[in-house]
């Protein structure tokens, strides 16, 4: 090998053997969230809201009905009829409570309808046929926690305005 090629060869060997050191993996971080719901005796708390989920409807749709059935297993409570599609992301409302002693309770849900109004608008939808995941009278055990789920139906008419709709309903638990 001639002397004229030796510096080039040494430069190539140096760049291969001393190449850039591999980057160390950077740690990936994500924060978690811890929550707790404290329930005092003779009370009721909302665990989650009734959510009809995301509904897909094109301009030519004739509308349809979304039903949240709280007697079905969680995660499969939603059913849709008519010319609409569901994102299957809806679920029943869930409430919990705790009695001071073993007793029979009565759960009251709306017997009529409630109106949901489009956020940022005046358009409305009507929620009807509220249902429970079991009987409205139940025996609950002293110093334990109980919960129940509430579902309902909503009719989506043809031409319903796009957007998020909200409404409120009342649930009562009577501890006689």
Please give the chain's pLDDT, 176 residues, in tens.
444 444 443 344 444 444 455 556 677 777 777 877 666 667 789 999 999 999 998 888 899 999 999 999 998 999 999 999 998 899 999 999 888 888 899 999 999 999 999 999 999 999 999 999 999 999 998 888 899 999 999 999 999 999 999 999 999 998 87
On whether residue 101 sits in a domain, the answer given is yes
On whether residue 13 sits in a domain, the answer given is no
On whether residue 23 sits in a domain, the answer given is no
Structure tokens at 98: 């705790």
On whether residue 8 sits in a domain, the answer given is no
Q: Which stretches does DSSP call E strand in 19-145?
A: 43-48, 55-56, 63-68, 78-82, 85-86, 93-98, 103-108, 114-118, 124-132, 137-140
Structure tokens at 60: 């030519």
On whether residue 3 sits in a domain, the answer given is no
pLDDT of residue 4: 47
Structure tokens at 23: 């980057």
As a whole number of angstroms, the distance between CA 12 and CA 19 comes to 10
**Is the pTM value of this prediction over 0.85?**
no
Number of domains in the chain: 1
C-alpha distances (whole Å) from 119 to each of 8, 62, 84, 122, 159 are 72, 23, 21, 8, 17
On whether residue 139 sits in a domain, the answer given is yes
On whether residue 26 sits in a domain, the answer given is no
On whether residue 38 sits in a domain, the answer given is no
> What domain range is 84 assigned to?
43-174
Neighbours of 12 (CB within 10 A): 10
CA 118 to chain centre: 19
pLDDT of residue 5: 46
């Amino acid at each position: 090998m001639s002397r004229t090629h030796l510096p080039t060869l040494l430069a190539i060997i140096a760049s291969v053997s001393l190449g850039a050191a591999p980057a160390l993996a950077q740690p990936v971080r994500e924060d978690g969230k811890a929550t707790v719901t404290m329930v005092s005796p003779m009370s009721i708390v909302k665990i989650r809201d009734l959510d009809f989920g995301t509904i897909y409807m094109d301009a030519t749709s004739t509308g349809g009905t979304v039903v949240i059935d709280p007697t079905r297993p969680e995660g499969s409570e939603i059913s849709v009829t008519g010319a609409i599609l569901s994102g299957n992301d809806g679920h029943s409302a869930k409430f919990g409570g705790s009695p001071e002693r073993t007793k029979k309770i009565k759960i009251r849900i709306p017997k009529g309808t409630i109106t949901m109004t489009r956020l940022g608008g005046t358009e409305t939808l009507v929620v009807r046929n509220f249902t429970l995941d079991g009987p409205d009278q139940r025996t609950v055990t002293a110093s334990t926690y109980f919960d129940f789920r509430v579902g309902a139906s909503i009719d989506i008419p043809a031409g319903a305005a796009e957007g998020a709709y909200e409404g409120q309903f009342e649930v009562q638990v009577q501890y006689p």
